[in-house]
Amino acid sequence: MNPETAWQAGRLHSRSGPHRLLFGRMYEDAEIERAAFQGKARVFCIASAGDTALQLAETHEVVACDINPTQLSYAQRRAKGAPPETGDAERAMIFARAFMPLVGWHKSQIRTFLNLSDVAEQMSFWRDHLNTCRFRAAFDALMSPAILRAIYQPQLLTVLPPKFGAVLRSRLERTFAHHANATNPYARALFLGETENQPPPKSPNIRFVLGDAASCLESSPAKSSKHPAAEAASTATAPSQQAPQDPAKNEEEALKDIYRPLRPGDPPTAAHARALTNRLFFDARLSSNGKVACASCHEPKLAFTDGRRTAVGVGKLIRNAPTVIGVAWSPWLFWDGRKDSLWSQALAPLEKVLPKAPRSASCPPGGRR
């Protein structure tokens, strides 16, 4: 990973200085991971403020990774029972909340809204009392590139969509339309900064690792983690790192064994099937010019993408290369969902016809390998 990234530098802003605590809390629902990994023994997560790792540690062995040593040390203290602290993200939210009265929002009004449990009432209250012209104008200005550039590192802003403020407002409305405020602790944390303190497990089974997530996963032995991304990353290595392997005795049987039911928790593929898949993934001979492999657009060190705005294979494409992590459980493949199985999807790059490349093995526009 680039040593100048905001996460490794440990600062949201571009000024130089020591590593900082970026997140005092994690505002995500660990119940989602619990449901996805039910019955699994070991899971992988980002350490961040430690909340997700601590909640998962109640039922799992957890590997928690973070590239910011200050953030990792804080998560370790949380695991030992230390109270939450205020990070830079929380300070930014405190600053933003100071402007609420200027757009006509008052705490009593916000509390009334947060105590609602009927989503229809919530949407009516939101549109009649909170989603005012003043709020929309102020919020969109606060989320504008000009303001954000003064606060955050430019690298953090490159992935933001146009009209970011409008996108966030739309997501807020979607939340209010589907989840009762009265039972949503994240809404209360967002608007009022009020959070619930939960004691950590008595003996949390967490192994903390300093480093970026991709490197951590790639260095893990195969099958050492039950996270689908971990398994995919840990079984793929660069071509120069691969030891010569004899072809499987029965490659037809190996290909059949690659298929996995589209649900988490199915048995891992056999070793010879993984070995064959690994060879094919890095084999450039499948392309028309003998220079492009699946890994050309899906690099393990880049979370199985290529880091480009639009992919470049044998020919230049019009869409970016999405990650292939977790595709074993994806019911639809390619950006437009035109393939419904890994079998049919894998043939598409070989059959795709591009100008001056009649048998290109590069990804079709928006395709996954």
- What SS3 string covers 112-155? HHHCCCCHHHHHHHHHHHHCCHHHHHHHHHHCCHHHHHCCCCHH
C-alpha torsion angle, residues 129, 134, 140, 145 (rounded to 10): -150
Question: Residue range 60-86: average pLDDT?
Answer: 92
What is the helix (H) or strand (E) element at residue 206, kind and residue range? strand 206-210
Listed in sequence order, the DSSP H helices in the chain are: 6-9, 30-36, 51-56, 69-79, 88-97, 107-114, 119-125, 133-142, 145-149, 154-157, 164-178, 185-192, 213-219, 228-234, 251-258, 271-281, 294-297, 342-351
Q: Which residues are paired to 46 by β-bridges? A: 65
**pLDDT at residue 326, rounded to an integer:** 72
Q: How far apart are CA 283 and CA 369, in angstroms?
A: 13
How do the domains of the chain map onto residue ranges? 6-87+202-215, 89-192, 237-351
Instruction: Look up residue 266 and give its two tokens.
Output: 């199915």
Average pLDDT, integer, range 210-223: 73
pTM of the complete model: 0.57
Q: Which of 9-23, 58-72, 325-339, 352-366 has the highest mean pLDDT?
A: 58-72
Range in 3-12, 108-117, 166-175, 209-218 with the lowest mean pLDDT: 3-12
Q: Domain 6-87+202-215 falls in which CATH fold?
A: Rossmann fold (3.40.50)
Instruction: Kindly tell me if the per-residue pLDDT of 147 is higher than 90.
Output: no
206-210 vs 61-66, strand pairing mode:
parallel
- Helix orientation angle between 185-192 and 107-114, rounded to the nearest 10 degrees: 170
DSSP conformational letter for 212: -
Q: Are 56 and 77 in contact (CB under 8 A)?
A: no
Question: Region 2-21: what's the mean pLDDT?
Answer: 72
| DSSP 3-state of 364 | coil
- The reply to whether domains 6-87+202-215 and 237-351 share a CATH topology is no
Tokens 């490159």 belong to 158
How confident is the model at residue 233, as a pLDDT? 35
Angstrom distance (rounded) from CA 135 to CA 115:
21
More confident residue, 178 or 276: 178
Q: Name the residue among 303, 324, 310, 330 with its Cα closest to residue 368.
A: 324
pLDDT of residue 356: 35
Q: Is the pLDDT of residue 252 over 90?
A: no
Least confident of 24-28, 169-173, 210-214, 257-261: 257-261
SS3 73: helix
| 202 pLDDT more than 80 | no
Contacts of residue 202, Cβ cutoff 8 Å, sequence gap at least 6: none
Q: What is the mean pLDDT of the chain?
A: 77
- Owner of token pair 């119940």: 31
Q: According to the model, what pLDDT value does residue 221 have?
A: 64
Q: Is residue 48 within 8 Å of 68, Cβ to Cβ? A: no
Question: Residues 92-132: pLDDT tens digits?
Answer: 899 889 989 999 999 999 999 999 999 999 999 999 999 99
The CATH class of the 237-351 domain is: mainly alpha
Reading the block at residue 53, the tokens are: 């790792």
pLDDT of residue 271: 64
Predicted confidence at residue 246, as pLDDT, reads 42
Strand order in the sheet with 206-210: 42-46, 61-66, 206-210
Q: Taking residues 297-315, what's their average pLDDT?
A: 81
Integer angstrom CA distances of residue 150 from 8, 12, 84, 142, 165 = 20, 11, 27, 11, 16
pLDDT-derived band at 224, boundaries 50, 70, 90: low
Lowest mean pLDDT among 227-231, 232-236, 278-282: 232-236
Q: What is the DSSP-derived secondary structure letter of residue 62? A: E
Three-class DSSP category at 207: strand
Identify the CA nearest to 230 among candidates 242, 213, 243.
Answer: 213
Q: Looking at 49-53, 182-186, 304-308, which range is the least confident one?
A: 304-308
Q: Is residue 13 scored above 90 in pLDDT? A: no
Mean pLDDT for 314-332 is 76
For residue 84, which amino acid is it?
P
The pLDDT value given to residue 237: 36
Tokens of 275: 């070995």
Let me know if 250 is exposed, middle or buried by CB neighbors in 10 A (0-12, 13-18, 19+): exposed
